[in-house]
C-alpha cells in the first residue's frame, strides 16, 4: 500500500511537518492539562484519599501537578514525531492520543472513588502508557523516548496505589 503524503496546506495545524506543527502539538496538551488541573482544584476534586496519604512516599499534590505539566507536552511531541513517519506512524499516534485522553479523564473517573478503583485506574494507565510507548517505538525512537519517562512516573503511581490499598 502506498502512503499518501500530504502537504502542509491540507494538514491539521498540529500535524504540519514543520516547527509550527511541533509547537502546536506541544502546546495543546500543555494547555489541556493546565486547564484540567485548574478545574480539578477549582472543583475540589483534588482531595486526597486517606489511604494514599498514609503511604510515606506519597508526593505532595503540587509535585504531581508539575510532573503532569511536563509529561503532557512530551506526549504531544511524541505524537507529532510518530505522526510524521507515515501511515504506521499515524496509527501509532492514535495510541498516544488515547493516552492523552485517558490521562485527562483520569481525575474525573477517580474523583470520589475508593482506593481500589484509583489503584486499578493507575494499573490501567500503566498498561496504556506501555502500549503507546511501544507502538510509537515501532515508528520513531524519539517518540518512544519522549513517552518513556512517563512509564516510570505512572509505574510509581501504580506502586503507590497498591501500597495505599494496604492502608485502605
Task: Give the number of residues written for the chain.
Answer: 168
Q: Which pLDDT tens digit goes with each residue over 109-133?
A: 888 788 999 999 999 999 999 999 9
Q: How confident is the model at residue 49 (pLDDT cuts 50, 70, 90)?
A: confident
pLDDT attached to residue 55: 94
pLDDT attached to residue 54: 92
Q: How confident is the model at residue 147 (pLDDT cuts 50, 70, 90)?
A: very high
Give CA separation, 119 vs 1, 68, 157, 165, in Å. 43, 18, 8, 7
Average pLDDT over residues 125-148: 98
pLDDT attached to residue 6: 53
Q: How confident is the model at residue 11 (pLDDT cuts 50, 70, 90)?
A: confident
Q: Using a CB cutoff of 8 Å and minimum separation of 24, what contacts does 31-39 make? A: 32/72, 32/100, 32/104, 33/68, 33/69, 33/72, 33/103, 33/104, 34/69, 36/104, 36/107, 37/65, 37/68, 37/69
Residue 168 reports pLDDT greater than 60 = yes
Cβ-Cβ contacts under 8 Å for 69 (sequence gap 6 or more): 30, 33, 34, 37
Within 10 Å of residue 25's Cβ, how many Cβ atoms?
Answer: 27
Cell 509535585 belongs to residue: 63
Q: Which pLDDT tens digit goes with each residue over 57-72?
A: 999 988 998 999 999 9
Specify whether the CB–CB gap between 1 and 87 falls below 8 A. Answer: yes
Q: Which CATH architecture has domain 12-165?
A: Up-down Bundle (1.20)
* pTM of the entire predicted model: 0.90
Q: Where are the domains of the chain?
A: 12-165
Of the candidates 154, 147, 95, which has an alpha carbon nearest to the alpha carbon of residue 121? 154
SS3 154: helix
Amino acid at each position: 500500500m502506498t502512503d499518501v503524503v500530504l502537504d502542509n496546506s491540507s494538514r491539521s495545524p498540529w500535524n504540519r511537518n514543520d516547527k509550527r506543527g511541533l509547537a502546536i502539538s506541544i502546546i495543546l496538551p500543555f494547555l489541556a492539562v493546565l486547564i484540567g488541573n485548574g478545574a480539578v482544584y477549582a472543583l475540589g476534586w483534588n482531595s486526597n484519599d486517606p489511604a494514599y496519604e498514609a503511604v510515606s512516599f506519597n508526593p505532595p499534590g503540587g509535585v504531581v501537578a508539575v510532573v503532569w505539566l511536563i509529561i503532557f507536552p512530551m506526549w504531544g511531541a511524541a505524537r507529532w514525531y510518530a505522526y510524521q513517519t507515515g501511515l504506521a506512524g499515524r496509527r501509532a499516534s492514535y495510541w498516544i492520543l488515547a493516552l492523552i485522553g485517558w490521562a485527562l479523564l483520569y481525575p474525573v473517573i477517580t474523583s470520589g472513588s475508593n482506593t481500589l478503583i484509583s489503584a486499578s485506574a493507575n494499573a490501567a494507565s500503566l498498561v496504556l502508557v506501555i502500549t503507546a510507548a511501544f507502538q510509537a517505538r515501532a515508528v520513531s525512537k524519539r517518540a518512544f523516548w519522549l513517552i518513556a519517562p512517563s512509564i516510570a512516573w505512572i509505574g510509581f503511581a501504580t506502586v503507590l496505589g497498591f501500597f495505599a490499598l494496604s492502608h485502605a
